[in-house]
Amino acid sequence: MQQHWLKRWEEGRIGFHRDSVHPALVRHWPLLGATPGTKVLVPLCGKSLDMRWLAEHQHPVLGIELAEAALAQFVEEGPGEVSRYQQDGFSIQRQGSIELWCGDFFHFHIAQAAEIGAFYDRAALIALPEATRQRYAFHLAQLIPPGARGLLVSLRRDGEDGPPYNVSYEEIRRLFDPNFIVTHLEDGEREDNGFQESVWALVRRGPVTDEPAQHR
C-alpha cells in the first residue's frame, strides 16, 4: 500500500489534494475547544493547505507523510525559510510553526508526540484499508493525551472500494468509541461520483484500551 501512495505522488495522481482550505475545518475547528498554542498532529498530511490554516490560527502543526515529494511541494509552495534535520529515523522539515515528518505514521511514537494536544484527520483514515484502520485508531489514541480534541473528515462512497475507502458510521464508532467521545457533526453533499464526506469531533477519553465498544 505504501508503494501505491509513493507512485501516486511520483505520477502526480493526487486528486484528493484541495486547492483551498477544507470548509469543515474553518466551520468546526473554532468550536472544538482546542486552545491557541496547542500543537496539532496531522497524520497522513499530504501537502494539505489545512496545515497552513491551522498555523495561521496559532496552532503549531506536526504533519506526518510518507511521500517526500508531497512535503517538498508543500514547503516549495509556501512562504518562509525551511530548516531540515533528522530525528528518530524521520527526515524533518520545518517552515515557520509547521514541522513535517517524512515517514510512516505507524513508526511515529509517543515519545515523539510529547507536545501534541489536538489532531486533524482529513482523508487519512479513509486512505487506509480496513485492517489498517483499526491499527490507525489505536495508534492515534496512543499519541493523543486524555482530554485532547480532534476533527475527523471521513467518507462514504458507493460502488468500488478504495482508496479512498468507504467507512461507515458504524465503523467510525466501533474504531474510536473505546478511546474517544465521538460526535457526528455534519454530512457533506453527496457528490456526482457517489462520495459523501462526514465530519466528526473526537475527544480523547482516559487510559488507552483496545477493547471493542459494547452495546453499539
Binding site for ligand SAM (CB under 6 A): 5, 16-17, 44-46, 48, 64-67, 70, 104-106, 122-124, 127
Closest distance of CB 37 from ligand SAM, Å: 23
Taking the least distance from each CB to ligand SAM, the nearer of 33 and 129 is: 129
**Nearest CB to ligand SAM, comparing residues 48 and 154:** 48
Contact 173, 144 (CB under 8 A): no
153 vs 182, beta carbon nearer ligand SAM: 153
Helix (H, G, I), strand (E, B) or coil at 198: strand
Side-chain half-sphere CA neighbours of 13 within 13 A: 8
Helix (H, G, I), strand (E, B) or coil at 176: helix
Cβ 140 to ligand SAM, closest distance in Å? 12
Cα 45 to Cα 6, 49, 81, 98, 211: the distances in Å are 13, 9, 20, 12, 28
Query: Which regions of 88-127 does DSSP assign to beta strands (E)?
Result: 90-95, 98-102, 116-122
User: Hey, CA dihedral for 49, 55, 155, 142, is it positive or negative?
Assistant: positive
Nearest distance from C-beta of residue 48 to ligand SAM, angstroms: 4
CB of 24 or CB of 182, closer to ligand SAM: 24
Q: Least distance to ligand SAM from the beta carbon of 170, Å?
A: 22
48 vs 93 by CB, closer to ligand SAM: 48
- Min separation Cβ 197 and ligand SAM, Å: 11
- For the record, the C-alpha cell of 155 comes out as 467518507
Closest residue to bound ligand SAM by CB: 46
